[in-house]
Amino acid sequence: MKIGIIAHLKHPIRKPFMGGLEAFTYDVTKLLIERGHEVTLFASELSDPSLNVYSIMSDTDYDRETFSRFRSHEMSEDFISTHHAYLELMQDIDTKGFDIIFNNSLNYVPITMASICATPMVTVLHTPPIFEMKRATAREKALGKITYVSVSRPNADAWKPYVHDCAVINNGIDLQQWKFVAENEKGYVVWFGRIHPDKGPHLAIQAAKLAGKHIKIAGSVADRHYFETFVQPLLDQDAEWVEHCTHEQLNVLIGGAEASIITPCWDEPFGLVVAESLACGTPVAGIARGALPSILNDKTGVLTKSCDPDELAKCIHLAVQLKRVDCREHAEQHLCRNVMVAQYEQLFNDVIQKRFLRHAI
């Protein structure tokens, strides 16, 4: 297949990844190329050239200190630049001879302009419904030219008022990059990710202390005020912050923990930290929000619907008793990136075939 992949433009698509969407776009592009497809990635210019990048936005103004495109943080400038980048792309994309367009932009322009494109499009809903995307999908559904995919069942349910028929393909990770640890050191639990109020690490620290467990916090500070106000005061001999970890160090840290504590404070559509923990063999104790209940089962995690640290502490006591081999097997069966890409390949083939049959009638 000849596939055009549209990336979002907030950050370049390259390692180290700024977030899960960059990791997803990188992995799916890389694997589709390795599987013999002719792939073009429409992304910003500093994206990894091995992905066959066609640059649609300059990274001259990308600030690696603030991880934003404009040091002045002028939202209007960022918005206008992104709008025009996608507008110019969609005006020309039919001329490039793609069999399918794979849209991961999180932007309304490719959806709105799909109506003038002959090339079929698959759009992944990586987020809960957001204003501009809601408006675009609601208007586009009358035409039915786009096939939509959600990264989890709860996220698909959230989109139902706007996208009635939505396939679900779980995100996957490279399991070869995450070593299974059959035995752990016992004595500590781990929380890892971006330190941000949406992620709730302060709840994890409180719960671990109530459970009598030493906790290690691994991650960079994404919100300095939150860290200094809610997280830093809780750090002591029972709660330590590991600021910088290589991938290998993080693998050892997660694999050596009795459990990972995952505390989403919003309806997160997926959460790669879940897959990464299970790949290491580490069971999960967490808050049942967003996709978390749909990713785990009773062999791999224990969840509470409450944000009460006492309830979360009870989950920790139960989670540490789960079998590590069951966690790894669950990751291999349901959260592997090879499985994910094979499902997208099948979906692309189905969409192309349906278009072919419509034109043949």
- pLDDT tens profile 144-190: 789 999 999 999 999 999 998 899 999 999 999 999 999 876 789 99
Instruction: Supply the pLDDT for residue 155.
Output: 95
pLDDT surpassing 80 at residue 112? yes
> Phi and psi of 162, rounded to 5°?
-115, -30
At residue 38, does pLDDT exceed 60?
A: yes
Element (H, E) at 274: helix 272-279
Task: Considering only residues 105 and 140, tell me which one the structure prediction assigns the higher pLDDT.
Answer: 105
- State mean pLDDT over 97-119: 94
- Which whole-number Å values give the CA distances from 94 to 101, 241, 324, in the listed order? 10, 50, 49
* Tens-place pLDDT, residues 75-91: 567 778 899 999 999 99
Between 323 and 74, where is the model more confident? 323
Measured CA to CA in angstroms, residue 243 lies from 219, 302, 303 at distances of 5, 27, 27
Mean pLDDT, residues 47-58: 96
- Residue 95: Cβ-neighbour burial (10 angstroms; 0-12, 13-18, 19+): exposed
Q: Does the pLDDT value for residue 245 go beyond 60?
A: yes
How far is Cα 166 from Cα 149, in angstroms, rounded to an integer? 5
Q: Say whether pLDDT at 304 is over 70.
A: yes
Mean pLDDT of 226-245: 95
Please name the CATH architecture into which domain 175-334 falls.
3-Layer(aba) Sandwich (3.40)
Strands (DSSP E) contained in the chain are 2-6, 38-44, 53-57, 100-103, 121-125, 146-150, 166-168, 188-192, 214-218, 239-242, 260-262, 284-287, 301-304
For the segment 239-257, the average pLDDT, to the nearest whole number, is 93
Query: Whole-angstrom distance between the N-terminal and C-terminal Cα of the chain?
Result: 23
**H or E element at residue 252:** helix 247-255
* pLDDT over 80 (residue 330): yes
In CATH, the number for domain 2-172+336-360 is 3.40.50.2000
**Tell me, what DSSP letter sits at residue 195?**
B
pLDDT at 164: 83
**The CA-based dihedral angle spanning residues 280, 282, 288, 289, taken in that order and rounded to the nearest 10 degrees:** -30
The span from the CA of 105 to the CA of 195, in Å, is 25
* Rounded-to-integer distance, Cα 277 and Cα 280, Å: 5
Q: DSSP E strands: which ranges in 204-291?
A: 214-218, 239-242, 260-262, 284-287
CA-CA distance, 85 to 94, in Å (whole number)? 16
Give the separation between CA 144 and CA 137, rounded to whole angstroms.
Answer: 10
φ, ψ for residue 141, nearest 5 deg: -60, -25
Task: Give the C-alpha separation, 231 to 268, whole Å.
Answer: 21
**Considering all CA atoms of the chain, what is the largest pairwise distance in Å, rounded to the nearest integer?**
71
Instruction: With a cut of 80, say whether residue 359 has pLDDT above it.
Output: no
Tell me the three state secondary structure of residue 28: helix
Higher pLDDT pick, 361 / 298: 298
| Residue 198 confidence (pLDDT) above 70 | yes
Residues in the chain: 361
Average pLDDT of span 255-259 = 97
DSSP state of 8: P
pLDDT band at 18 (very low <50, low <70, confident <90, very high): confident
Q: Does the pLDDT value for residue 277 go beyond 80?
A: yes
| In the block, residue with structure tokens 């069999």 | 99
Strand order in the sheet with 260-262: 239-242, 214-218, 188-192, 260-262, 284-287, 301-304
All CATH 3.40.50.2000 domain ranges of the chain, comma separated, are 2-172+336-360, 175-334
How much is the pLDDT for 62? 72
- Residue-averaged pLDDT of the chain: 92
pLDDT of residue 81: 86
Q: What is the three-class DSSP state of 93?
A: helix
